[in-house]
Amino acid sequence: MNLGYTAEEERFRQELRTWLAKTLPTLPPKPNPLDWPARRAYDLGWQRTLYDAGYGELHWGATPTQHLIFLEETERAGAPYVGANFVGLLHAGPTIAAEGTPEQRQRWLPPILRGEEVWCQGFSEPEAGSDLAALRTRAVRDGAGAGAGAGAGDYIVTGTKIWTSHAEVADWCELLVRTDPTVPKHRGITWLAMPMDAPGVTIRPLRTLAGSTEFAELLLDEVRIPVSHRIGEENDGWRVTMVTLSFERGTAFVGEVIACQRVLRELAETARRNGRWDDAVLRRRLGRLHAEFRALWRLTQWNVSEAEAAERGVPGVGGSVFKLRYSHARQDLYDTAAAVLGPESLDLSHAWTLDRLSSLSYTIAAGTSQIQQNIVAERILGLPKGR
Alpha-carbon span 123 to 87, nearest angstrom: 12
Rounded distance, CA 101 to CA 79, Å?
33
Is 168 considered catalytic here? no
CA angle (88 as vertex; 325, 330 as ends), nearest 5: 20
DSSP string, 132-148: GGG---EEEEES--TT-
Name the catalytic one among 103, 248, 256, 344. 248
Q: How big is the CA angle at 249 (ends 375 and 16), to the nearest 5 degrees?
A: 150
**Residue 341: is it exposed, middle or buried by C-beta count within 10 angstroms (0-12/13-18/19+)?**
buried
CA dihedral 328, 332, 333, 335 (to 10 degrees): 140
Q: Are 135 and 176 in contact (CB under 8 A)?
A: yes
Q: How far apart are CA 354 and CA 146, in angstroms?
A: 56
61 DSSP assignment: S
Cβ atoms of 135 and 125 closer than 8 Å:
yes
Other beta carbons within 10 angstroms of residue 265's beta carbon come to 11
**Phi/psi at 377 (5° precision):** -65, -45
Return d(Cα 122, Cα 115) in angstroms, integer: 21
Length, in residues, of the chain: 387
List residues with catalytic annotation.
248
